[in-house]
Homo-oligomer: A and B are copies of this chain.
């Protein structure tokens, strides 16, 4: 299955010049024709895409991770990481999920994908991994400490309402589901069905 990359709201034109190449971010620049025919220099970034995996264990608990990075406040979120160049998205999701949590799933599928920032060409892919089983210890990463937390859907709703969950996209899906029976039914089917 080939997953389609979501389009940027404001794509970098093909003739844009790369003016900086960084460790994570590249910077592009181009002369953009405005509505009155005049021109302005536009600047936009490119960074590697991200995969996020919402794991659900065999006994229907949602797997959150509390991530601590050097010099950064800790937060509750989902297992996530960078897609390597030319890496298959499903492979990247499986790899990051296994590395961060030590869990594996045979039932991994894309939930949704989008580009969050109009000035960065950057897609985030959200996967759901059901029937997860622990098969290994999480990989030690000197740049990151991860603690696993298993919650029910009701407990996740509480974390979202209390602003203790770090993903705005997943939070919005959950809040919308709380306000719409059909959406909640679909969300439960997706996560727990």
Contacts and interface: CB of A to CB of B under 8 A. Distances in A.
B145 A10 contact: no
Given A20-B20, A43-B25, A179-B179, A32 B70 contact: yes
Interface stretch (A99-107, A128-136, A169-177): A169-177
A178 B10 CA distance: 32
Contacts of A175: 172, 175-176, 178-179
A38 B45 CA distance: 29
B24 A43 contact: yes
A41 interface: yes
Judged by DSSP, the binding face of A is loop
Given A32-B71, A35-B142, A175-B175, A19 B22 contact: yes
B45 A25 contact: yes
A45 B118 CA distance: 15
A131 to B, nearest CB: 30
B20 A22 contact: yes
Contacts of A71: 10-11, 13, 32, 42
Candidate in A116, A142, A168, A171 with the most chain B CB atoms within 10 angstroms: A142
A95 interface: no
Interface of A: 9-11, 13, 19-20, 22-25, 27, 29, 32-38, 40-43, 45, 69-73, 75, 116-119, 142-143, 145, 161, 168-169, 171-172, 175-176, 178-180
